Amino acid sequence: GNSVTQMEGPVTLSEEAFLTINCTYTATGYPSLFWYVQYPGEGLQLLLKATKADDKGSNKGFEATYRKETTSFHLEKGSVQVSDSAVYFCALIGMDSSYKLIFGSGTRLLVRP
């Protein structure tokens, strides 16, 4: 079946450091890929998405590239801020089940001043 695997956290960084959160997936065909973010006390928010191979999703300085050959969708940011502290979820929608998002287990990011 379809699944998403994320690196375990927490990831602790100093402000202005470079961020990578790894995400790999298993799916038949060409799923659509997403990153959602959950800030403390808030609901999940869509951060970015990519719907086909080699697409790059970007938002708020975050980027992720859909890599079909490595079945990956790693999240990156060049310079993190304290306000980026949150839990980040990688997710996919499969071609065979377009009504449901399949989430990874989440990666907590802590950014220290």
Partner 1 sequence: DAGVTQSPTHLIKTRGQHVTLRCSPISGHKSVSWYQQVLGQGPQFIFQYYEKEERGRGNFPDRFSARQFPNYSSELNVNALLLGDSALYLCASSLDPEQLGELFFGEGSRLTVL
Kindly state whether residue 93 participates in binding partner 1, applying the rule CB under 8 A.
yes
Kindly state whether residue 45 participates in binding partner 1, applying the rule CB under 8 A.
yes
How far apart are alpha carbons 25 and 13 in whole angstroms?
A: 25
Distance of CA 55 to the CA centre of its chain: 14
Binding range to partner 1, per CB under 8 A, among 12-20, 22-30, 43-51, 75-83? 43-51
Site string for partner 1, 70-89 (x = CB under 8 A): -------------------x
> Contact positions toward partner 1, by CB under 8 A?
4, 32, 34, 41-46, 49, 51, 89, 91-93, 97-106
